[in-house]
Amino acid sequence: MKSPKYFDLFLHTLFYSLITVAAAQFYINIFSPEFSVSLGIVFLASFAMLAPDFPVLPVSALSGVLVMFSRAFLGSFRESSFNISFSLAVPELFFYLFYGVLLTVYIVKIRKSSVLMDTAALLFCDYAANFGELMLRLNINAFSLSSQSGILMTAMFRTALILIFMTVFRRYHLVLLKKEQQDYYRNLSLLTARLQEEVIWMEKNTSLVESTMHSAYQLFERLRSDSSTKDAAKDALIIANDIHEIKKEYYLILRGLSDALQTEDGPLRLEFGELFSLLRSPVEQIASAAHKTLSFEVKGRSSFRTGHVYELLSVFRNLFTNAVEASKNDQVFIQVTLEETTDEILCTVTDHGQGIPPDALSQIFDAGFSTKINYETGEISRGLGLNIVKGIVEENLGGRIHADSCPGNTCFSIRLPKETLEG
């Protein structure tokens, strides 16, 4: 049984060889009908220069064999028998072998990060391999001026093609890498924002933990004074101690999360409008997962830069997600309007869903309140999203949030002071 390493090498060699052979079918004949100049070596050399640990010799050898047989096979149909075509195609094999050996020596022993050296090496490999092939073809004078100038011009032309191919590939690779990095940082920013939501909610619950522990101790003190409730007093003390231990662990987790969310380089700063560019793709994914189509529009712009990126991402992500999840239509429309004054930023988020019932509008910012129910599973939303939004806007950022709704329209108006946003 072949080891995975050698099997992978075989597959890579076969794959690149087939590409080289396919490219080798684009050729022209110079000097004689037997001597052809093809594009096969352009792809082979480009792959070898671009890909680390590229199997140059195996690919060169297999490509040479396959090109030789393809030339012989096609030649036998045109003008001669297979045996004659095969004998005329044999020098093609040696061309690929010469080229592969020379290129391997350069890449392994000599190559440095120099475009000039790469150009000179590719030029020499092409010229030398062509010269070697000409030496094997007895009907061509390899040392004549026409032969030398021909293979030199061929080497220059193919080297130029290789350099162009490498440049285009590297530019395209940089574009892909940049996009990948943008996607990575967008996802990281959104993950950080979601973690901060949980930290904010945990911080809100610290007072509840403290008051519960205090109530348990008070209950213990009251029960201890009555001899008939001694056992109950012990139970109350155990409960109080357990809550105290839970509180310590809770604070450790909270501190760990808070420390992990701190960046050494200071807060991330973005223009206000860039927040919506970050959120567009993930909200579209949420809509797509719910089999809905999202239309997202931002009106107005603000070049104001804020350091409260993660808090604002949490605010708008919750509002956008609520609009998508609450909509009963397949088409979800969300419109964001930005206005900037001397002292504040006004942001209005409007969706054209079914609206919020008047009796529920006054409760939507309460913790635990939710109108989102999955009737298939019976699952009810946690009802924390808008409560967290209100907490971030009013407590963390010193702003105000107001909701208006009527059938077919829900609008959240957020006013944020610039003085706070600059932090």
**The pLDDT of residue 172:** 80
Q: Is the domain of 298 the same as that of 403?
A: yes
Q: Is the domain of 195 the same as that of 255?
A: yes
Q: Is the domain of 395 the same as that of 320?
A: yes
pLDDT in tens, 396-409: 888 899 888 877 78
Q: Is the domain of 224 the same as that of 332?
A: no
Q: Is the domain of 316 the same as that of 251?
A: no
**Beta strands 293-299 and 331-340: pairing type?**
parallel
Q: pLDDT grade, residue 354 (50/70/90)? A: confident
Tell me whether residue 335 is in a domain. yes
**Span 319-323, mean pLDDT?**
86
Q: pLDDT grade, residue 375 (50/70/90)? A: very low
Q: What percent of the chain has pLDDT over 70?
A: 79
Q: Is the domain of 213 the same as that of 238?
A: yes
Q: Is the domain of 286 the same as that of 312?
A: yes
**The pLDDT of residue 67:** 85
Residue 408 vs residue 182, higher pLDDT: 408
Among 143, 168, 196, where does a domain finish? 143
**The pLDDT of residue 394:** 87
pLDDT at 220 over 60: yes
Tell me whether residue 157 is in a domain. no
- Token pair 């298939």 is found at 376
Q: pLDDT grade, residue 102 (50/70/90)? A: very high
Kindly report the average pLDDT of the chain as a whole number: 79
Q: pLDDT grade, residue 380 (50/70/90)? A: very low
Q: Is the domain of 282 the same as that of 410?
A: yes
- Token pair 């130029």 is found at 160
- Between CA 2 and CA 14 the distance in angstroms is 16
pLDDT at 371 over 60: no
Residues 6+ apart with CB under 8 A from 19: 43, 47
pLDDT at 231 over 70: yes
Q: Any idea how long the chain is?
A: 423
Residues 6+ apart with CB under 8 A from 118: 49, 111, 163
- Between CA 124 and CA 127 the distance in angstroms is 5
Domains of the chain: total = 3
Tell me whether residue 175 is in a domain. no
Write the secondary structure of the chain as one string of H (helix), E (strand) and C (coil): CCCHHHHHHHHHHHHHHHHHHHHHCCEEECCCCCCEEECHHHHHHHHHHHCCCCCHHHHHHHHHHHHHHHHHHHHHHHCCCHHHHHHHHHHHHHHHHHHHHHHHHHHHHHCCCCHHHHHHHHHHHHHHHHHHHHHHCCCCCCCCHHHHHHHHHHHHHHHHHHHHHHHHHHHHHHHHHHHHHHHHHHHHHHHHHHHHHHHHHHHHHHHHHHHHHHHHHHHHHHHHCCHHHHHHHHHHHHHHHHHHHHHHHHHHHHHHHHHHCCCCCCCCCEEHHHHHHHHHHHHHHHHHHCCCEEEEEEECCCCCEECCHHHHHHHHHHHHHHHHHHCCCCEEEEEEEEEECCCEEEEEEEECCCCCCHHHHCCCCCCCCCCCECCCCCCECCCCHHHHHHHHHHHHCCCEEEEEEECCEEEEEEEEEHHHHCC
- Which of 41-45, 195-199, 375-379 has the lowest average pLDDT? 375-379
Tell me whether residue 159 is in a domain. no
Residue 68 vs residue 267, higher pLDDT: 68
pLDDT at 265 over 60: no
**The pLDDT of residue 369:** 58
Q: Is the domain of 415 the same as that of 280?
A: yes
Q: pLDDT grade, residue 314 (50/70/90)? A: confident
Tokens of 320: 């956008």
Tell me whether residue 65 is in a domain. yes
Residue 4 phi/psi, 5-degree rounding, is -55, -35
pLDDT at 327 over 70: yes
pLDDT in tens, 47-97: 888 887 888 899 989 988 888 888 888 777 766 677 777 777 788 888 899
Tell me whether residue 166 is in a domain. no
Residue 268 vs residue 158, higher pLDDT: 158
Q: Is the domain of 196 the same as that of 317?
A: no
Tell me whether residue 128 is in a domain. yes
| pTM listed for this prediction | 0.50
Among 114, 143, 172, where does a domain finish? 143
**The pLDDT of residue 12:** 83
pLDDT at 209 over 60: yes
Q: pLDDT grade, residue 311 (50/70/90)? A: confident
**The pLDDT of residue 123:** 92
Tell me whether residue 40 is in a domain. yes
Tell me the residue range of the domain where 370 lies: 270-421
Q: pLDDT grade, residue 101 (50/70/90)? A: very high
- Which of 9-18, 271-280, 282-291, 365-374 has the lowest average pLDDT? 365-374
Residue 120 vs residue 112, higher pLDDT: 120
Q: What percent of the chain has pLDDT over 90?
A: 4
Residues 6+ apart with CB under 8 A from 149: none
Residue 239 vs residue 262, higher pLDDT: 239
